Every structure is written in C-alpha cells, then in structure tokens.
Structure 1
Amino acid sequence: MSKFLFLLLFVVSLLQASAQDFHKQFKQAKDLYEGKQYSAAMAAFKPLTVYDQANPFPEYASFYYALSANQLGYGSVAKDMFLQIKKLYPTWDQMQEVNYWLTKLYFDQGDIFQALKVAATVTGPSLQTGLTELKRYYLGKITDSETLKMVLEDYPEEREAGRALLKILGQQPAHLQETSMMELLITKFNLPREKLVAVEAPKPVFKDTYRVALLMPFLAATLDPSPVVKRNQFVLDIYDGVKLAADSLRKQGINLEIVAYDNERSPELTRKILAQPELKSADVIVGPLFPEEAKPVLEFALTNQIGTLVNPASNTIDFAPHPFSFLFQPSHETLGIRSAEWVAEHVRRKNCLVYYGETVKDSVMAFAFIKRALELGVKVVYAEEVHKENSAGILTNLVSATEYDEWKNPLQFKLKKDSLGSIFVASDNELIYSKVINGVETRKDSIVVIGQETWLTDTSIDYAKFERTQVSLAAPNYHALNSPAYTQFRKKFIQKHGLMPGEYATLGYEVTMMLGQFFSK
C-alpha cells in the first residue's frame, strides 16, 4: 500500500512539474511575442501547440503562433494554423478572435467573398469596430464597380461594400453616373453623399423658354422658291421637322426658340459663328453635320458646357467625345449589345453563329455582340470575318448536305437541322447577308437571322424572303406607320407642307420632340 501511495505521489509531482514547465514555456514565448521577437516567438510557441494532457495551452499557443507568423508576413502559415484551431478546438471560447483574423487573412490574399463569409460569423460586440475598419479598408481598395455589385448580390446588407461602390460611382463623369444606383445606396445604407460623391451631377435648371441652335449648311444664298429638289434638301427637311415639333411642343407648354445658323459647310464660317456671344446662351446645339466642322463646335461646347447633338443622323462615336456631346443614333457597339440581349430573350436555342465584314464598324458590332451574348449565356459556336475571297464558305457551312430525298433535295446537313438557334450578321454588305439568307432558306429549319435595318434599302432581295427566313432587324429608325404618334405627325406635316414627310423630316421632328421632353423634366 505504501509503495502504491509513493508511486501515486511521484506521478502527481511529475505532472505538477510538467505543468509548471508548460506555464514557464508559455510565459517565455508570450514575452518574446510582446517584445516583437516574432521569429523566436514562433519557435517557442511551436512545441506548445502539440496536444498533451498536462499542457493547458495548445489553443493559445496555436493562436499566438499564427499571430507571430502573420506579423512576419507568413499569411499562408497563419491561415493554416487558424484553420487548424477551428478544426481541433471548435468549441474554444476565443473562436470569434480566430474568425476575425481569418477574415483579415482572406482579405490580404484577395479572397473577398470568403473573407466576408467568415466575417459574418464574427458577432462579438468588442470586435465590430475593428471588423468594420477591415471591411472599409479592403473593400475600399477594389476599383472595379462590377466586383462590388457582385459582392452586394451575395451580401445585400453589407454597408461597407455599398460605401465602396458609391465612392467609385461618384468619381465617374456626371454624364456616365449610375444615378439611380447611387441614390439607392445612399438611402439604403444612410451614406454621406458629400464625402463619397466626388463628382456631383449638375442640377437641372428649368426655364420658360429654351434656345436650340441649329448649325447646318442651309446654303441660303443658293436657295430659290422653285419646287425643284435642292442639293441640300435633306437639311431643309430636317429644319421642317424641327419647326413642326417646336410648334407641337408649344401647345404642350414647352417653349423652344429655334435659332438657325447657316455654316455653308465651311469650317472657317463655323468658327466665325461660334465667336458670336449670343451662341453662348444656347441650351443645346444641333449640328453640324460633317466631321470637319464638328471639331470646333465640340471644343466650344466643352468650354461653355453646352449640350451638343452633332449630326443626329450619324452614330459615329467620334461625335460624342466628351460629357456635353451626345448621339441620337445608337453606336455600332450599342447595336451589337442590344442584338445580343434580344437573342438571349427571344431565341429558344442559345447557340449562334456570327458573321461580320471587313470594316471597323462591323468588327465593333460583332465583338460587342459576342461579349454580351456570352455574358447572357448564349454560346457563340463560330465567328468569322468575311471577305470576298472566303464568302463562299458561308453557304458551305450552312448547306453542305449529308442526306437527300429521291428528288435530290437535301434532307440533312453537316450542320444539323435545328441545331442552331440564330445567326447574327454584323454587316450591311449585301454579299454577306444575302448568302446567309439564301443558306437559311435552303435549310428550311428554325434558325433566326438577326441583321441591320439598312438591308431594307437593298432592292435585290424580296421582302417576302426576309419574312420566310425569320429575319429580325436591329432598326433604331423604325416607325410604326399606324401608331397614333406617327399618324398625328404625318397629318400635321401634310397640312403644313402638302406632301408626305420623308426620312429627314421625321428625324428632325423626333430629335426636337426628344429635346423638348428632356427640357420639361
């Protein structure tokens, strides 16, 4: 009995001595950490991280080992140790601290979404201030607004993501700002507009009368009262449409003062007109119509902050190089994007071919279509730039038959029937789109062809063929002839001029009605 008691006392004393050693080692390691000797601290904490029945410090030693590694820039080592703590000691009462530091480490490594996922588990009141500062710092470093929008999709209540997004949007030029998104963020998260929005959109100024300056080649000196079509008839037609719209707007209580300047298609005369002080009082300038005259007008508009609609019949992006110049016609890029969105919404089979011509505008439209289509889940299985030399390949792709009926009519093709949803043709080159249409007509399947409104000016293709082959056209200048608005315009125009309104008279009317509606809002 005495031997057993002696052995028991001996074991107890060993355990006490061992525990005293662990306490001593932990204190020494902690002193090294607090003395910022992080390498030595890691070495001292390392043996204490191993589980031992007599060791009361494995969780704390692991924690400080990770902190020391983090101080030395060993982020991956620190993260692995924190994850090990979560796995081995899931009920440890300091787990909130572990998750706090894991949040920081994920942020450091650029894993924003994982950082926010872990941050959501940090609920301790004492850690919230530090957690908010972490989020503000790291989310504030993101420069891509789309990334922050994705963050808000996954974490819609994340105020610091909203703050960071508002700051980015508020730095954009006023005419590019997503004002509705900005207002939503300010309201939802109670964010300080004056601190986060660096570029404030100008506040609207309402007037009793707005001045619209038309800067166009009226060629007044060459005009005569004869009914003969003038060489600048399209300009005169635009003017007729503008005046008719101004009269219609006046009856709605929207007053436009139309002031016409004849620049005679001369850059020198254009500069002289711009030198007149009265032009600075214009609220908007419409024109000129040609590139060589546009440059001084665009410079004048930017200097004097006057809205300018250069050539309402053009979609050349060079006519809208700054915040005070605008396009009435959609750009080629916009046409490609909207066409892709139409395909994604209306065509059942989400795979398509893309053909485009050699011009820059064709390439811009095609690549804008492809980019947007892929974003919307439409698979572009093939895209080709078509030249005269390889144009025959369109029919080869579409109508290479593999089966025939008894009369040699194709039954099946190398490109299987109904295997394709659509074909987008980014070109107004008749050589390209006629081959596409003929190929689809031969196939007699469900392919939808998306093209351009300019195809309608080509008299070599019967309109019935467009209908048979399910052709849909991007047509920003389409007018529903039986719509109440167009019927009323046509009636007024006939009453005033005694003839049907043409393309340019309609354009002048639409542009002016649009301006009037903008001014009224």
Structure 2
Amino acid sequence: MTHSYRAAGRPGRWLLLLPLLLLSLAAAAQGQLARYRTGQAQLDQGHFAAAMKELEPLAQPINHFAQAPDAAYLYAVAATRAGQWAEAEQMLNLVRNQYLTYPGLNEVLYLQGQVSFEQGDYDTALRTLGLLPAAQYGPLREAMQASYLAKLKDRTTWQRLRKRYPQSALLGRCYADFLAASGPLTPADRQQLDALITQFKLDRKPYASALATAPAAPKALPRKATYNIGVLLPFELTDNTWQTKSQNRFVTDLYAGLRLAQDSLQRAGRPVQLFTYDTGADTLTLKTVLALPELAGMDMLIGPVYKSGARLLAQYAREHQIVCVNPLSQDADLVLDNPYHYLYSPSAATQGRVAAQFAATTFGTGRPAVLLHEETKDDNDFAAAYQAAYEAAGGHVAATHSFHPDDPAGLAAALLPAELTGASHLVVASDNRKTGPAAFAALAAVPAATRPALLVPGTWLDNPELGLGQLGGAGVYYYYPKYYDRAAAGYRRFRQLYLAQQKLPPSVFASQGFELLLFFGNALAQYGPAFQGALATLPPQPGAIFEPLTYPNGAHDNQTVPLLKLSNLEPRILNK
C-alpha cells in the first residue's frame, strides 16, 4: 500500500524545507547588503570601476534587491565620475523605466541631464531637466544649462534648440552670446541677434560691434527670358540591375514629374531648361558633379535626396548664391541659417508645431496630451516641436514615450491605459504599419466616456491592417502634408497628361516633382533667381495638385500642413 505524508497527517515536504528556504533567502539578502555597502565604500574612496562592478548586479530587477534603485543610481554616479557616460545613461534609463516610484527620481533626472549634455545630446538634456520641479531645482538646473550651453559651438544645434524652446530666456541669451562671438554676421545672423535682444530685453551694448559687422544683403539678380535649372538626383545610370532600378523608381518618377512641369511652364510662356546630373548614391560622385564649372552658372538647383549629399549641395548653394530646393527631405536642420536652401515639404518640426496648434484649438488644453514617437530623427523632431508648441498654447503633455515598432513589448508598454484614460488626446508620430493596430487596440481598452482623441500621420489611411471603421472614427484625426484631392480638377488634368506621356498612373513622387517645379519655376519667372524676399511676403499660393505652398516670414520649409478627418469615409480638411 502506498502512503503519503499528507494521507498520514504529516506535513508536506515543502513545509519541512520552508525554514531552510527562509534561511537561504535571508543569507542571500545579507550578502546583497554587504555587497552594496562595499560598492558604496569603493565609490567614496574613488575606486569607480570597482564600485560599478559591485553595484551593477544589485541594480537588476531580476535579483530582487530591496535597495536596487539606490544601487543603480550609485552605479551611474560612479560611471559619470569615471567618464563612462554611455554606461551611466543606460543605468539611469533602467531606474526611470523599472523603478517608477523611486523617491530619488529627481536626482536621477538631474544626473541624466548632465550625462546627456556630456554626450552632446542637448535636446534630451534640456527635455530631461525640464521635468524637474522648478521650486527645488530651478537654480541648479539653470546653472548646469548655462555651463553646457556656453560650450556649444554647433550652429545647427543652436538653431534647432531655438526652434524647440523659443521662450527660454536662458537659451536665448546664450545663443545671442554665441552669435556675437561667431565673427562677421550674415544678414540672417544680424536679424536673429537683434530679435533675441528685443525678445529677452538684453543689454544691447555688448552686442553693438557684432551687429555692426554684418555685410550688405546680396543684390537681386536681373530677370531673364529663360532660366537654367540643375537637377541633381541619384539615377545610378551605370547600374542596370533590376534591384537598383526597382529601388530608384521614386527618383525616375520624381524626374518625370519635373519634366511634365517643364512642359506646362513652356506652354504658359515661362520656359525653363533642365540640366540633369546623376549624383549616384555616394558623396564622391556628387563632389565630382559639384566641381563642374557649368553648375555655378545655374539659376536654381533641385536635389539631392540623401542627407549627406543634401548638406554638401546646401553648402555649395550658399557659397555660389544659387537657390537650391530639396525635393523630399523633412529635416529642418538642412535649411537652418542658409538663405539659399529650401525644403519643398513641411519639415517634421513644422508638422509638429502646426499639429499642436490645431490640437490646442480642437481638443482644448484642460486635459493633458500623451505623445508617442519612434526613435528616428524626423519623429523626434516632430515630438519635440509638438510638445513645445502645445505647452506654449497653455497645454500640458503628461507623458512622452519613444518606441521601436519592431519591438511589440516596447510598443505595448508605451501605450499605458492609466495615461490614456486621463488624456484629451493621444499623438502617435510613426508611419510604421505595426503601430496603428497597437494604438487602436490600446484605445479600445479605454472606456468610451474617457477615451482620448487620436492624432496620427495621414499615411495610416493607406494601412491595409486598419479597417474603415477604425480610420473613420469620430475621434480620429490626421496630419497629412502630402494630402491632395484626387477628385480635384488640377489633379485630374495632371493625371491625364502624365498617363499620356508615361503610360502609367503618377505616383506621389511624380506629383511632388510636378508641383515643385511649377511653384519654383513660376517664382523664377516672376521675381528672378533671388526670389527669397518675395516668397517671404507672398500669401499662400494655390497648388496645382497639393494644398497651397507658403514660405512666410523667411521660412525655408513649406508651412502648409493639412489636418484631416474622415467624414462619411471621405477626407475633409479642417484647417483649410
């Protein structure tokens, strides 16, 4: 007969082992505590590598150390003193993500601001320090910011920070100091410096000599009967493989749109000549093209499409005082501080600003927003501009999360029900097709009475994984810079002409090429090659296909960003 301890009324084996288990856990806890104290001592004695070695395992959640957040923070302190900034940042991120109730979270944020500054990530540093309570950390935060901003010498970073924090007196003063120390000022520099002095009521005397050194503005060029335009695109004509041809289809479509616009300008009595150059896929080929003497005689340049090449061409355009238009980029940094460089499209930062102003009007500012974005340059720029503009309008962004759409767990973790329930709207800056279903699923879990509105890119309308019932929901809105009305007469005429020439329907790239050359070709005909001043004062100009193009007040990216929602499953522009 088989007997069991339970059947005989005896305690189970696990009960007999329980005292041993408790003793083992107590011993482990004592061992962890001893190791923690050793790490503290090593840190106090300046043995930073030894301290990091002791503290690192204690900080991991899997080891269930009672003082894990403190161990992580001390590890980060040791790493910063050892100059190991990346290691410090990794551990500080662990604290912020895993130990949300840690009482020392403000100290973590303060240290993370320093770590970001040391790594040259000024955007993250300012955003992180901005989370600290002003009453307790105001003077400390300002002292740190002033110290690191005084070391910043990169003009592009300065321009980006000014756009994101236009009301920061500290940043404005430091930028004015940077401009004054930059040598002879361009007209754009002088205008910026004067505006900073006025906006922040700075003493004008220290900047008088810098303001006086600005060179005269370039003279307007005479108008001509026809204009020569250089088109610099990566056709890669020397590579005839099908893979390259397939990948470069957007380039040939863009060029086909330019050629069709050339015909339209010719018929309107405003002829332009296109001179085409194959820049290849590397900067070496582009540099060879830029060395051609004939290029300096062009009246305007269009291209290229890759960022490294765009920077080179922007510099060339400035040196030779030839207006250059980038056809596809949304990176505002490319046109900062360059009166000869334009983006055809609205930059990601402009999209964020316009979307935030729309949200403040449409959703109000009584309840906070939640902002999600991918970890890409354009989406980071959008998110930073959105938060700055929404808060400038009196709103509050309660939570900002970045994510990688290919990490389902990370994406799900960014969509927190507790944050969504109290929000007026959720903004998601991501074109990835995996993001939409996750966002709609998270919103569906929020009770209808407290469900926030959703503001997302217009590219979601083309996502086959989303249903019309979701896309046409009452609280769903879209920012869509590439929107055009397919039923409009202008698009139907363009489509007819394009089909007659190419025997294929036009892609969005063909449409953009057509619109770009029509707009800037007309600007050349009306105002000559130095048309920057005229563009700055023109009202929005109707587009042949897209919504009006506008470059007011010296803007060098298109400021028109349509905001849509579906009405009876048809798009309707809300900010026309």
TM superposition score normalised by structure 2: 0.50
Aligned residue in 1 for 2:162: none
What SS is found at the alignment partner of 1:468? Answer: coil
Aligned residue in 1 for 2:160: none
Match of 1:483 among 477, 484, 488: 488
- Go from structure 1 to structure 2 and tell me whether the alpha carbon gap of 1:474 and 1:303 turns closer, same or farther (over 3 Å shift): same
Matches within 5 A, 1:292-307: 292-307=308-323
**In the TM superposition, what is the alpha-carbon distance from 1:229 to its structure 2 partner?**
6.4
What SS is found at the alignment partner of 1:500? Answer: coil
Match of 1:209 among 223, 226, 230: 226
Q: Is the 8 A contact 1:213 1:260 kept in 2?
A: yes
Aligned residue in 2 for 1:365: 382
**In the TM superposition, what is the alpha-carbon distance from 1:197 to its structure 2 partner?**
8.9
For structure 1, list consecutive stretches of 5 or more residues without a partner in the other structure: 1-143, 149-168, 183-193, 400-413
- Go from structure 1 to structure 2 and tell me whether the alpha carbon gap of 1:199 and 1:345 turns closer, same or farther (over 3 Å shift): farther
Task: Give the Cα–Cα distance (whole angstroms) in 2 for the partners of residues 270 and 361 of structure 1.
Answer: 24
- Go from structure 1 to structure 2 and tell me whether the alpha carbon gap of 1:391 and 1:504 turns closer, same or farther (over 3 Å shift): closer
Matches within 5 A, 1:251-330: 251-310=267-326, 312-320=327-335, 322-330=338-346
Q: Is the 8 A contact 1:391 1:431 kept in 2?
A: no
Task: Give the Cα–Cα distance (whole angstroms) in 2 for the partners of residues 314 and 369 of structure 1.
Answer: 19
Letter in 2 for 1:384: H
Letter in 1 for 2:394: G
Is the aligned partner of 1:345 residue 2:365? no
Task: Give the Cα–Cα distance (whole angstroms) in 2 for the partners of residues 329 and 176 of structure 1.
Answer: 24
- Go from structure 1 to structure 2 and tell me whether the alpha carbon gap of 1:323 and 1:349 turns closer, same or farther (over 3 Å shift): closer
**In the TM superposition, what is the alpha-carbon distance from 1:223 to its structure 2 partner?**
6.2
Is the aligned partner of 1:392 residue 2:412? yes
Task: Give the Cα–Cα distance (whole angstroms) in 2 for the partners of residues 436 and 220 of structure 1.
Answer: 42
Task: Give the Cα–Cα distance (whole angstroms) in 2 for the partners of residues 217 and 432 of structure 1.
Answer: 31
Pick 1 or 2: higher relative contact order, CA cutoff 8 A, min separation 6.
2
Task: Give the Cα–Cα distance (whole angstroms) in 1 for the partners of residues 227 and 429 of structure 2.
Answer: 39
For structure 2, list consecutive stretches of 5 or more residues without a partner in the other structure: 1-164, 170-184, 199-210, 528-576
Task: Give the Cα–Cα distance (whole angstroms) in 2 for the partners of residues 354 and 230 of structure 1.
Answer: 36
- Go from structure 1 to structure 2 and tell me whether the alpha carbon gap of 1:196 and 1:283 turns closer, same or farther (over 3 Å shift): same
Deviations 1:255-299 (CA, angstroms, capped at 9, x unpaired): 211111123334333223222221111111111222343444333
Is the aligned partner of 1:354 residue 2:358? no
Q: Is the 8 A contact 1:307 1:326 kept in 2?
A: yes
Q: Is the 8 A contact 1:449 1:470 kept in 2?
A: yes
What SS is found at the alignment partner of 2:472? Answer: helix
Is the aligned partner of 1:452 residue 2:457? yes
Q: Is the 8 A contact 1:394 1:436 kept in 2?
A: no
Match of 2:440 among 437, 441, 456: 437
Matches within 5 A, 1:44-443: 172-173=188-189, 200=217, 202-203=219-220, 205-221=222-238, 231-310=247-326, 312-320=327-335, 322-348=338-364, 350-351=366-367, 352-386=369-403, 388=407, 389-394=409-414, 396-397=416-417, 415=421, 420-430=423-433, 432-442=435-445, 443=447
Task: Give the Cα–Cα distance (whole angstroms) in 1 for the partners of residues 194 and 360 of structure 2.
Answer: 24
* Count, aligned residues: 325
Task: Give the Cα–Cα distance (whole angstroms) in 1 for the partners of residues 228 and 190 of structure 2.
Answer: 23
TM superposition score normalised by structure 1: 0.54
Letter in 1 for 2:329: S
Q: Is the 8 A contact 1:211 1:257 kept in 2?
A: yes
- Higher mean Cα deviation, 335-344 or 390-399? 390-399
**In the TM superposition, what is the alpha-carbon distance from 1:465 to its structure 2 partner?**
1.0
Let me know the Cα RMSD of the aligned residues.
Answer: 3.8
Deviations 1:367-404 (CA, angstroms, capped at 9, x unpaired): 211111111122323333346445434554259xxxxx
What SS is found at the alignment partner of 2:500? Answer: helix
What SS is found at the alignment partner of 1:172? Answer: helix
Task: Give the Cα–Cα distance (whole angstroms) in 1 for the partners of residues 320 and 186 of structure 2.
Answer: 23
What SS is found at the alignment partner of 1:381? Answer: strand
Is the aligned partner of 1:497 residue 2:512? no
